Structure 1
Amino acid sequence: MTGDGHATIVGRTVSASTTVAAPPEEVFALLANPHRHHEFDGSGTVRGAVSGPERLALGDRFGMSMKIKLPYRVTNRVVEFEPDRRIGWCHPARAVWRYELEPVPGGTRITETFDYGGSPMAKGMELLGFPKGNAKSIRDTLRRLREIFGAPQS
């Protein structure tokens, strides 16, 4: 998603990008705070953090209150971490949610990826339509991040 484009599904990854009018460190600060994830979640499933630090680091675990029809909790672990450039966490099904930040003139290019290639449940996720649903959630998340940080001036 460049601007308001679309998500792409390649293999077992779903990915899209947008550009916001904020520096990478400001965007990263939001992404690395699990207590604020509900502010930008486009899936509508994240209700709030139930455990975890205010700023994530590699190996940290954080619990989230979620709801897909019924409420539940999930514990994630940070598996990718490069300050102000990349953060990714993995849930128990071993799918990774990743955000990559690239400084660009006037702001930051954000690429969000759902990578379920390492999940033993990958085939089931495909049968249940997760890639298509995650593509919509990623588009909505990136739209929310643009609302939070603004669009760069042309």
Structure 2
Amino acid sequence: MTTNDKQIIVSRIIDAPAKDIFDLLTLPARHSEFDGSGTVVSDEKSQRIQQVGDVFVMNMHAEAMGGDYQMYNHVTAYDENKMVGWQPAQEENKDEPAGWEWLYTLEADGSDSTNVTLTYDWSKVTDKDLISIFPAFDESALEESLNQLAAAVATN
């Protein structure tokens, strides 16, 4: 685990090939299965992530955000079986990501296991009011996301 004033990075080995993990990460319909923050409810009929520039919509819930809301996730990183990432945009400004990013990187560790790194980076947030909430999630939420990802990929 690495934490600094603009990002949190956690890693773990998952006993599954990178391809299987990547398949799960690129299917928004399954994102609620590996959300360690407890805020992701479901996808909004999104297609599989296929490239940088794709946008997928997630239905969310957090009391701190006033209950139910949606996030418009702009894909910023895509390298098949190696990396996928996105920057969320809030519903009221859905075409402009607010500056934080979720990035998953996958490194094969033998043929049947993968070192998965999850980076939560808010270094591009410039809104002075918004920056005050970061980090909105701590290391334990990210570690739980990787634990849930391992469980979800094991049930494929």
Could you say which TM-score interval applies, normalised by the shorter chain? 0.7 to 0.9
Q: What's the counterpart of residue 79 of structure 1?
A: 76
Q: What's the counterpart of residue 60 of structure 2?
A: 66
Q: 1:23-62 alignment to 2 at 5 Å? A: 23-62=17-56
Contact 2:100 2:124 in 1 (8 A): yes
Read off the aligned partner of 2:116 and give its amino acid letter.
I
Q: Is 2:2 the counterpart of 1:8?
A: yes
What is the root-mean-square deviation of aligned Cα atoms in Å?
Answer: 1.8
Q: What's the counterpart of residue 139 of structure 2?
A: 135
Q: CA deviation at 1:119?
A: 1.3
Identity %: 29
Which of 134, 141, 145 in structure 1 is aligned with 2:149? 145
Contact 1:114 1:134 in 2 (8 A): no
Contact 1:9 1:131 in 2 (8 A): no
Instruction: Give distance in 2, aligned partners of 1:124 and 1:34.
Output: 25
Q: What's the CA shift string for 1:87-110, capped at 9, x where partnerless?
A: 000012121100000000240000
TM-score by length of 1: 0.84
Contact 1:63 1:73 in 2 (8 A): yes
Contact 2:24 2:153 in 1 (8 A): no
Q: What's the CA shift string for 1:27-64, capped at 9, x where partnerless?
A: 00000011110011111000010042134321100110
Read off the aligned partner of 1:73 and give its amino acid letter.
Q
Q: Which runs of 4+ in 1 moved over 3 A?
A: 121-125
Instruction: Give distance in 1, aligned partners of 2:128 and 2:29.
Output: 28
Instruction: Give distance in 1, aligned partners of 2:87 and 2:55.
Output: 9
Which of 13, 33, 40 in structure 2 is aligned with 1:19? 13
Contact 2:75 2:86 in 1 (8 A): yes
Read off the aligned partner of 1:136 and give its amino acid letter.
S
Contact 1:52 1:60 in 2 (8 A): no
Q: What's the counterpart of residue 105 of structure 2?
A: 100
Unpaired segments of 5 or more residues in structure 1?
1-6
Query: Which SS does the other structure have where 2:138 is aligned?
Result: helix
Instruction: Give distance in 2, aligned partners of 1:56 and 1:30.
Output: 12
TM-score by length of 2: 0.83
Unpaired segments of 5 or more residues in structure 2?
90-97
Number of equivalenced pairs: 142
Q: What's the CA shift string for 1:68-122, capped at 9, x where partnerless?
A: 1101011011011100000000012121100000000240000000111011137
Instruction: Give distance in 1, aligned partners of 2:9 and 2:81.
Output: 19
